[in-house]
Amino acid sequence: MLYIECPWCGFRDDEEFHYGGEAHIQRPTDPNELNDEEFSEYLYLKSNPKGVILERWLHSRGCRRWFNVLRNTVTNEITEIYPIDTLPNSKEGTEYYGQNWRRKSSVEKTIKPREYK
Amino acid sequence: MNKQLFRVKDLGQVDRSKPLRFKFDGKFFVGYRGDTLASALLANGIHLVGRSFKYHRPRGILSAGAEEPNALVQVGEGNGTDPNTRATQIKLEDGLIVKSQNRWPSLLLDLGYINNLLHRLLPAGFYYKTFMWPSSWWMRYEYWIRRIAGLGEAPKGADPDRYEKTHAHCDVLIVGGGPAGLGAALAAGKTGARVVLVDEQDSFGGSLNSNTDCTVDEHTTLDWRKRTLAILEGMPEVILLNRTVATGYYDHNFLTLLETVSPGQQNQSEYKTRQRLWKIRAKRVVLATGALERPLVFKDNDRPGIMLSASMRAYLNQYGVSPGNRVLLFTNNDDAYRTAISLKENNIPIAGIVDLREDPTGELVDRIRHEGITLYPGYAIVSTTGHLRIKSVRIMKLNDDGTKVIGNAKDITCDSIGMSGGWNPTVHLFSQSGGKLEWDDKFERFLPKIANQPLISIGACNGTQSLSDCLKDGLKAGAESARATNNKGRAPGTPRVVESKCNDERAIWIIPRENSYKKNGKYFVDFQNDVTASDISLAAREGYRSVEHLKRYTTMGMGTDQGKTSNVTALAILGETLGTTAPNIGHTTFRPPYTPATIGAYAGRNVGALFDPIRTTAMHEHHEKFGAKFEHVSQWMRAWYYPKPNETMQQTINREVKAARDSIGLLDASTLGKIDIKGLDAAEFLNRIYTNSWLKLAPGKARYGLMLKEDGMVMDDGVTTHLNSNHYHMTTTTGGAASVLDWLEEWHQTEWPDLDVYFTSVTEHWAVASICGPNCRSLLAELAPELDLSDEAFPFMTVKEGDVAGIAARIFRISFTGELSFEINVPRRYGLALWQALIEKGEKYDICPYGTEAMHVLRAEKGFIIVGQETDGTVTPHDLGMDWIVSKTKNDFIGKRALSRSDMLKSDRKQLVGLLNENENEVIPEGSQIVEMLQPSPPMAMIGHITSSYYSPNCNRSIAMALIKGGKARIGKTLHIPLKNKTIKVKVTDTLFLDKNKELTDG
């Protein structure tokens, strides 16, 4: 059972949280501009790496806030937790974010870049 | 009565002043406080305690701990009975009642033993090979096979015992209270760290209890153990848990511990708790789980009286129990020599030591020779005799490479054997934690290699053999773990230990046969599941080369003991058969729980009424008084229907449905989800979430809305009202309340944090009574004389605030029945008062409370959908014929883009239509499959299914809705519903069954 440090409430058992899937999949600015294939990529294609992943969690039985987590899918080690509207800070997280296939996808190019804090 | 012929005088730690009476298979015996069931039985000379799983061979007690594969018994009677419990871990209590298992009619005479003679019909994977003819007979064979193959009996009723859960945190959790674990607890405890020390046995100490041939700082091992425990008990931050198994090791140093509470402890409490499940989060874990002795694999090695050498020593030194009157030892290492010395010291006759090693040396061997005990170096047992108890063995000399036996055979009589085939470190928890194991060639065993979590393995589970090293490692690990959790202190000095040195072993995995051409006799590897060496070789020859396949094909290691005594031996035999070595074979996955755990412990107190919370409305008391039948809608108890005496359910529903259209119906609608939405951008937010347009909804007005998931599928629906500027009241389905709130929060927090909007669940704040029917306006006028209820002043889809029956209320003029209807919302605490006022004043109109079933009929008459009934996550608004609610002018909303994906535009998507049964009085079962082309028998192409189906008293006939492929194009056509005993013919229609001309006020 994971032990997750909610940025607002501190360490809690994972039964207080809900998993929210891959982080940093931004909704297209205007989905109508995407063709079916591109829209399917946004809707259905998810990263499934062996190793580091950036993902979203919700402290559903606590403060009900969303936040982002850097987790290793092999060891379940959590190395960074950061607010939902920011990018990762750690070297590992920044590298993963920069090298993720989504950064090169045509879908993301249609999105007005979010202003991360 | 108190015979205990095998109890040795003045030896061991049992309390001889406290005799305890217990019953085994109907006969009374006596043991002492401090005994396990196994030691008490052995003290009474009972080795035979069970019959084996497949061949029903007589079996005795093999071990003294958690690894026991044979001595599984049924404890207790009635619904509290516990099957398959290890006699070696049952604490003896006065009045304990125990039965042996898997035998009929009795343990001594078991008719299932015929399986032993029919073994050729039962090879590895027999269920794929034999009992195949005629194939239709398999069901009969299976019945008997299941009857004969077996363990204990599960209780029939609910578990009457009480179980608890407790949550804890600690700095250092130490698993295993042997010398290494006690040392670690001592060192960590001295720093002031919060320490939890657990041990699965009744008494701490592990091998200190039985290896009494050593001294620690000039004290006996028992003295050192006692002094250490006394120090630990004096430390306020140290928790000692005995009879507690660490069952599972999960992520981030989370472990589950299962504590069995003894009856003695229970008497101090009001509640009789049987077991307590600890969920513990440890900053550091110290694994000191010890090692399990391996049996040797020789012909008929399973006879009662044959046990593990160290277990024999434990029974002798800890419980003062002698294994027999003439003991033989069979070993490949020095362990049996220590047992022999203990036996000799207590004047128990020894038949000799058979040692696989050609030339055993060392101080233990010298001592044995000095004592005059007969030693057979380089010999092996090639066969055994004795049906219900071992009688004699035949030994022969091994050749140089251990592949054959040579020379003359020699028979030796004995009534018990202590065997030792080396040691397997107990790496179960380490492996569960994600740690990687490594094969150690020297001692042929798996050792912990790379840990994946903050833990350390010490003592025998880490391959350490000598007592002095175990103590040294324990003290060091305890101090280091405490320091790693910010506690300060140094390890206490290592005590001086006097012990004998143990030497290498000689691994021979299968003892060679006396005659290589005579293939009789069984060489058991897995005692519990009756898996023999030849089963493993056979599986390998048949191509089951992967260890995971081997396991499933032979059932090796699949018993309740999970192969604790057999797995490594089986891997080695598989390796030999395949011409490779154990490390190349790998090992099967170690999974929790370490030993079988009671399911009740995991349920804890969450049983019965506490299994799932029940939510009731403010009017619940009244529904009960009215004799309502209830149904569960998510966690809510909703009134289903209100039967009058002598009414059938259908009669009740017909009456309720008629009343709602003829005069006044009254529904408790409090369970609908309600979300209060505020903020400058509330309208913009709703506009993005709902499919229709929300920017221009004036204050005081309400609108129906449909929410889609991003994939275009209907997720929830409800009416949202603009109360006053930037303040909205959203309603959701009863079951969708929580998920809709989550949905809104998710979009707001993750995608549109720039919008100024706030959500609050107010489901519990409001009680809602919904009145409908032609007379409901007159009734409301009586209760709210100050309100203008005329159509002009209070039109459909608007809200008003005012007093109803003297209670401040929000009144919504919205309708789920198509009739004139008002939904009166009052603060929850006034709900019952409002309901009573409505019933009282409504009496002259014959006001009729109706339940959810009538509500379903009423809405179906008007073709209104219920999300979750007409939809299942694969249905779009267009499939439902609700195009009218999907805005064509809005550029975007959640789910819009998906609605134009190619798959959504297909004409053969399932679409919602109405169905009319040819037989007007017959209601089609919901869920029935619909076909176009009727065939004499299945398979037939199914084109859809019934989503709702009722008898409508207002239409005077049955009605149904269905999702059918290309349904709209089939309107007017006839389709078929093949049921088990008949076929129903239906006509496809639209979904409006009543009021086709839309004359109803709020239709």
pLDDT at B939: 92
Q: What would the DSSP string read from start to end of B324-389?
A: -SSEEEEESSSHHHHHHHHHHHTT--EEEEEESSSS--SHHHHHHHHHT--EEETEEEEEEE-SSS
Do B896 and A32 lie within an 8 Å CB cutoff?
A: yes
Of A3, A64, A65, the CB nearest to B281: A3
User: In angstroms, rounded to a whole number, what is the distance separating the alpha carbons of residues B673 and B729?
Assistant: 10
Element (H, E) at A37: helix A36-44
pLDDT beyond 70 at B167: yes
Per-residue pLDDT reduced to its tens digit, B586-604 = 888 899 999 999 999 999 9
Of A13, A27, A39, the CB nearest to B901: A39
By a Cβ cutoff of 8 Å, what residues of chain A touch chain B? 1-3, 13, 18, 20, 26-28, 30-32, 34, 36, 39-40, 43, 56, 58, 60, 64-66, 75-76, 78, 84-85
User: In angstroms, rounded to a whole number, what is the distance separating the alpha carbons of residues B986 and B144?
Assistant: 48
pLDDT at B582: 78
Q: What ipTM did this prediction achieve?
A: 0.97
Q: How far is B713 from chain A (nearest CA, A)?
A: 13
Residue closest to A1 by CA, chosen among B433, B392, B602, B7 = B433
Do A39 and B251 lie within an 8 Å CB cutoff?
A: no
Do B452 and A3 lie within an 8 Å CB cutoff?
A: no
Q: Which two tokens mark B810?
A: 């929000």
pLDDT beyond 60 at B653: yes
B15-148: CATH, from 3.40.30.10, 3.10.20.440, 3.40.50.620, 3.90.230.10 = 3.10.20.440
Do B710 and A20 lie within an 8 Å CB cutoff?
A: no
Q: What is the CATH number of domain B905-1003?
A: 2.40.30.110
B283 neighbourhood in chain A, CB within 8 Å = none
The three-state (H, E, C) secondary structure of B211-233, written as one string? CCCCEECCEEHHHHHHHHHHHHH
Q: Where are the alpha helices (DSSP H) in B11-161?
A: 37-43, 114-117, 138-148
**Higher per-residue pLDDT: A67 or B1001:** A67
pLDDT at B264: 65
Q: Which residues pair with B769 in a beta bridge?
A: B668, B824
pLDDT beyond 70 at B862: yes
pLDDT at B929: 97
Q: Which of A66, A78, A87, A115 best tests the B interface by mutation, with the highest count of B CBs <10 A? A: A66
Q: Which two tokens mark A98?
A: 């920069």
pLDDT at A15: 94
The band of B2, judged by pLDDT with boundaries at 50, 70 and 90, is low
Sign of CA pseudo-dihedral B795, B798, B801, B802: positive
**Higher per-residue pLDDT: B922 or B142:** B922
pLDDT at B124: 78
B434 neighbourhood in chain A, CB within 8 Å = 75-76
Please say whether the structural domain B162-291+425-498 has been given the CATH code 3.50.50.60. yes
User: Is residue B348 within 8 Å of B341, Cβ to Cβ?
Assistant: no
User: In angstroms, rounded to a whole number, what is the distance separating the alpha carbons of residues B862 and B854?
Assistant: 13
Peptide bond into A31 cis (omega under 30): no
* Domain B295-421 in the same topology as domain B162-291+425-498: yes
Do A13 and B896 lie within an 8 Å CB cutoff?
A: no
Do A84 and B750 lie within an 8 Å CB cutoff?
A: yes
Q: Which two tokens mark B566?
A: 């057999």
Per-residue burial over A56-90, b if 16 or more Cβ lie within 10 Å, else e, is: bbbbbeeeebbbbbbbeeeebbbebbbebbebbee
Do A1 and B434 lie within an 8 Å CB cutoff?
A: no
Of B452, B892, B901, the CB nearest to A36: B901
Q: Which two tokens mark B637?
A: 């108890």
Residue closest to B817 by CA, chosen among B555, B571, B540, B1002 = B1002
Element (H, E) at B986: strand B983-989
Q: What is the second-level CATH architecture of the domain A3-109?
A: 2-Layer Sandwich (3.30)
Per-residue pLDDT reduced to its tens digit, B266-324 = 656 667 899 999 999 999 999 999 999 999 999 999 999 999 999 999 999 999 999 99
Q: Is B198 exposed, middle or buried (0-12, 13-18, 19+ CB in 10 A)?
A: buried
Per-residue pLDDT reduced to its tens digit, B25-37 = 999 999 999 999 9
By a Cβ cutoff of 8 Å, what residues of chain B touch chain A? 250-254, 281, 434, 452, 710-711, 742, 745-746, 749-751, 753, 891-892, 896-898, 901-902
Q: Which of B711, B743, B749 best tests the A interface by mutation, with the highest count of A CBs <10 A? A: B749
Q: Which of A43, A54, A107 best tests the B interface by mutation, with the highest count of B CBs <10 A? A: A43
Do B897 and A39 lie within an 8 Å CB cutoff?
A: yes
Of A1, A20, A36, the CB nearest to B254: A1
Q: How far is A1 from chain B (nearest CA, A)?
A: 5
Q: How far is B588 from chain A (nearest CA, A)?
A: 19
Percentage of the residues of chain B whose pLDDT score is greater than 70: 98
pLDDT beyond 60 at B686: yes
User: What is chain B's mean pLDDT, rounded?
Assistant: 94
pLDDT at B845: 97
Phi, psi of B410 (to 5 degrees): -135, 130
Where residue B932 falls (left for φ over 0; alpha for ψ -120 to 50; beta otherwise) is alpha
Q: How far is A93 from chain B (nearest CA, A)?
A: 19
Per-residue pLDDT reduced to its tens digit, B407-427 = 999 999 999 999 999 999 999
The separation between the first and the last C-alpha atoms of chain B, rounded to the nearest angstrom, is: 87
- Span B650-672, mean pLDDT? 97
Q: How far is B166 from chain A (nearest CA, A)?
A: 14
pLDDT at B519: 74
Sheet holding A78-83, edge to edge: A18-22, A52-58, A66-72, A78-83
Q: Which two tokens mark B197?
A: 């020390």
Name the residue in chain A with its Cα closest to that of B250. A1
pLDDT beyond 60 at B444: yes
Please say whether the structural domain B295-421 has been given the CATH code 3.50.50.60. yes
Between the ranges B52-61, B145-154, B549-558, B970-979, where is the mean pLDDT highest? B970-979
CB pairs under 8 A between A and B: 59
- Stated pTM of the model: 0.92
pLDDT at B265: 67
Q: Which of B249, B277, B750 best tests the A interface by mutation, with the highest count of A CBs <10 A? A: B750
So where are chain B's domains? Answer: 15-148, 162-291+425-498, 295-421, 612-671+763-864, 673-698+710-761+866-894, 905-1003
pLDDT at B726: 95
Per-residue pLDDT reduced to its tens digit, B915-967 = 999 999 999 999 999 999 999 988 999 999 999 999 999 999 999 999 999 99
Q: Where are the alpha helices (DSSP H) in B502-619?
A: 533-541, 547-554, 567-578, 582-585, 599-603
So where are chain A's domains? Answer: 3-109
Name the residue in chain B with its Cα closest to that of A75. B452
pLDDT at B501: 86
Provide the total of helices (H) and of strands (E) in chain B, helices listed first: 23, 50
Name the residue in chain A with its Cα closest to that of B898. A39
**Higher per-residue pLDDT: B748 or B155:** B748
Q: Which CATH class is domain B612-671+763-864?
A: alpha beta
pLDDT at B294: 97
pLDDT beyond 60 at B1003: no
For B783, residues 6+ apart whose C-beta sits below 8 A from its C-beta are B804, B805, B837, B838, B841
Do B751 and A1 lie within an 8 Å CB cutoff?
A: no
Do B750 and A56 lie within an 8 Å CB cutoff?
A: yes
Q: How far is A15 from chain B (nearest CA, A)?
A: 12
DSSP B917: E
Per-residue pLDDT reduced to its tens digit, B490-536 = 888 999 999 988 888 898 999 999 887 677 889 999 999 999 999 99
Per-residue pLDDT reduced to its tens digit, B188-202 = 999 999 999 999 999
Beta B273-287 vs B162-175: how paired, if at all? parallel
pLDDT at B317: 97
Residue B851, number of CB atoms within 10 A of its CB: 24
Of A3, A40, A58, the CB nearest to B254: A3
Do B753 and A64 lie within an 8 Å CB cutoff?
A: no
CA angle B938, B990, B913 (to 5 degrees): 35
pLDDT beyond 80 at A71: yes
Q: What is the second-level CATH architecture of the domain B673-698+710-761+866-894?
A: 2-Layer Sandwich (3.30)
Do A1 and B251 lie within an 8 Å CB cutoff?
A: yes
Residue closest to B293 by CA, chosen among B329, B331, B326 = B331
